């Protein structure tokens, strides 16, 4: 397996894959189905670089990096793992190298100089998942004690679970109790 950048993978191939995924309408894609329409409009705008995990010629997963403010990067943004490579049940002490781990490794090498890097997952129900992911990293990553604002919409997805490395994020936060009162 190897990780390719957008120029190595090919823009036309990426756009074709997004169209194919939109039309395939996989059962597990409902939560983020809008991505397949939106990404072709914005993939060259606010994202620093796109990464694609491939095995032979098969795409396994993709994700991008988003710079939030100078020297602060959100990694594994818009991560998509193809259905045949997804794991729906993760053990508590998971040590398997997941597709996102390959992508994260490549993204960290690409960024290499930063004040802060972070990964987020929406929905309070996924807090344990992101903490398990943090534990797999074992490299100075911290689970933020509150929910961190990662976008400007007004939905519950506005505040997300975050793990970060480096300086603490300079983003608005709310406590978990506040999140529950507003959105649960």
Specify whether 98 is located in the same domain as 149.
Answer: no
pLDDT of residue 138: 75
Residue 70 lies in a domain: no
What is the mean pLDDT of the segment spanning 24-47? 82
Domain identity same for 166 and 98 = no
Same domain, 36 and 83: yes
In this structure, are 83 and 143 located in the same domain? no
Q: Give the pTM.
A: 0.90
91-118 pLDDT, tens digit each: 556 666 889 999 999 999 999 999 999 9
* In a shared domain, residues 146 and 90: no
Q: What percent of the chain has pLDDT over 90?
A: 65
* Whether residues 101 and 121 fall in one domain: no
In a shared domain, residues 133 and 165: yes
Helices marked H in 72-173: 99-111, 127-137
Of 1-15, 26-40, 43-57, 81-95, give the lowest mean pLDDT range: 81-95
- My answer on whether 136 and 86 are in the same domain is no
Domain count, the chain: 2
Q: Tens digits of per-residue pLDDT, 41-90?
A: 889 888 999 999 999 989 999 999 999 999 999 999 999 998 888 876 55
Mean residue pLDDT of the chain comes to 90
Residue 149's domain comprises: 115-184
pLDDT at 90: 55
Residue 110 lies in a domain: no
Distance CA 40, CA 142 (A): 33
State the helix-helix crossing angle for 99-111 and 127-137, rounded to 10 degrees.
60
| Domain-embedded: residue 139 | yes
- Cβ(116)–Cβ(165) below 8 Å: yes
């Amino acid at each position: 397996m190897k990780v390719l950048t957008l120029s190595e993978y090919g823009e036309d191939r990426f756009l074709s894959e997004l169209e194919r995924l939109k039309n395939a309408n996989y059962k597990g894609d409902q939560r983020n189905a809008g991505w397949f329409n939106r990404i072709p409009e914005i993939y060259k705008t606010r994202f620093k670089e796109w990464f694609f995990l491939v095995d032979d010629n098969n795409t396994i997963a993709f994700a991008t990096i988003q710079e939030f403010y100078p020297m602060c990067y959100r990694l594994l943004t818009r991560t998509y793992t193809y259905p045949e490579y997804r794991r729906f049940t993760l053990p508590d002490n998971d040590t398997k190298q997941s597709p996102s781990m390959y992508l994260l490794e490549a993204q960290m090498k690409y960024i290499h100089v930063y004040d802060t890097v972070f990964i987020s997952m929406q929905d309070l129900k996924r807090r344990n998942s992101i903490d398990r992911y943090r534990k797999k990293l074992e490299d100075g990553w911290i689970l933020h004690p509150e929910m961190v604002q990662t976008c400007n919409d007004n939905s519950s997805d506005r505040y997300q679970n975050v793990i970060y490395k480096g300086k603490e994020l300079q983003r608005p936060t709310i406590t978990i109790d506040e999140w529950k009162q507003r959105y649960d």
